[in-house]
Amino acid sequence: MPITTLFTAHHPVEKYLRLDHATPPDLALRALDSFLLRQLARFFPVPITLFDLAADATGGASAMLAVGHYDVFHRIHIPAQREPTPAWRTTFPDALALLGYNVALPDLDTPLDLENDLSPLSPPMFLFAPGDTSTADVVAAVEPLLVAHPRAFVGLLSGTRRLAVAASFTDAGYIVTDTRETHALFKQSDLTLIANETTPGDVLRRISYLFDGNLNHVSLPESINVLREKLDEKTAREEESQ
């Protein structure tokens, strides 16, 4: 049974980032978000098709995440977005070979082609990093993606712009799930889901339950003291019986 942790989810990215970091990316992909994105794909009712529109902003980290976990996706597309071509796109095939990923490499040179790349059977997820783009421009860029497929959803990666962008989409009637609000331990996530339907949010809640336990970190020291007393009692009984 597959058991994924932040470490195993983010490991392909960490190994990739160790290879080359001459230019720091606009957006550092967090280990928590790697985990959430991977598990989102893993738990989705039908394998999703990923359109990684955040690859240039993350310096290829999100692309590496997708390729490192290609088995949980139906298909991966990493459309070309910027001119001139960012340096990471030219070295990416070599990076994959060096890291031992013998997978069919997604096309890195072709722009987004929704007409041909969308599968009617596989829900598309568009991973998007708005950077400094204005809220109006983000809405203009993202809305056509949501219209393209009834089960489409967008994963917005942004630490600072989330609230403004999320408010716009909520007002427009989309279902917005701010990951930070789904679990106290997700407070550092940069991921917001914008969807036509409830499924992505439901999957995210399932993931959040993985982080619920009996040990409350606030009362943990007290619990440990109680445990210590019980342990001492048990050990003393053992010694008496010997």
Least CB distance from residue 9 to other proteins, whole Å?
A: 10
Shorter beta-carbon distance to other proteins: residue 12 or 123: 12
Shorter beta-carbon distance to other proteins: residue 101 or 175: 101
Q: Which residues form the interface with other proteins (CB under 8 A)?
A: 1-8, 10-12, 14, 31-32, 68-69, 71, 185-186, 188, 210-215, 217, 220, 224, 227-228, 231-232, 234-236, 238
Which among 200, 195, 198, 130 has a CA at the least distance from the CA of 165? Answer: 130
Least CB distance from residue 241 to other proteins, whole Å?
A: 11
Could you list the beta-strand ranges (E) of the chain. Answer: 49-52, 75-77, 124-128, 153-157, 175-178, 191-195
Q: How far apart are CA 222 and CA 164, in angstroms?
A: 41
Shorter beta-carbon distance to other proteins: residue 109 or 238: 238
Least CB distance from residue 185 to other proteins, whole Å?
A: 4
Least CB distance from residue 2 to other proteins, whole Å?
A: 4
Shorter beta-carbon distance to other proteins: residue 171 or 232: 232
Structural tokens at position 74: 């139906």
* Structural Rg of the chain based on CA atoms: 21
Which among 64, 67, 111 has a CA at the least distance from the CA of 85? Answer: 111
Shorter beta-carbon distance to other proteins: residue 65 or 146: 65
Least CB distance from residue 7 to other proteins, whole Å?
A: 4
Shorter beta-carbon distance to other proteins: residue 8 or 81: 8
Q: How far apart are CA 160 and CA 188, in angstroms?
A: 11
Shorter beta-carbon distance to other proteins: residue 103 or 172: 103
Could you list the beta-strand ranges (E) of 8-118. Answer: 49-52, 75-77
Which among 107, 61, 103 has a CA at the least distance from the CA of 80? Answer: 107
SS (H, E, C) 136-171: HHHHHHHHHHHHCCCCCEEEEECCCCHHHHHHHHHH
Which among 34, 14, 17 has a CA at the least distance from the CA of 52? Answer: 34
Least CB distance from residue 205 to other proteins, whole Å?
A: 15
What DSSP element (H or E) covers 13? helix 6-19
Least CB distance from residue 220 to other proteins, whole Å?
A: 6
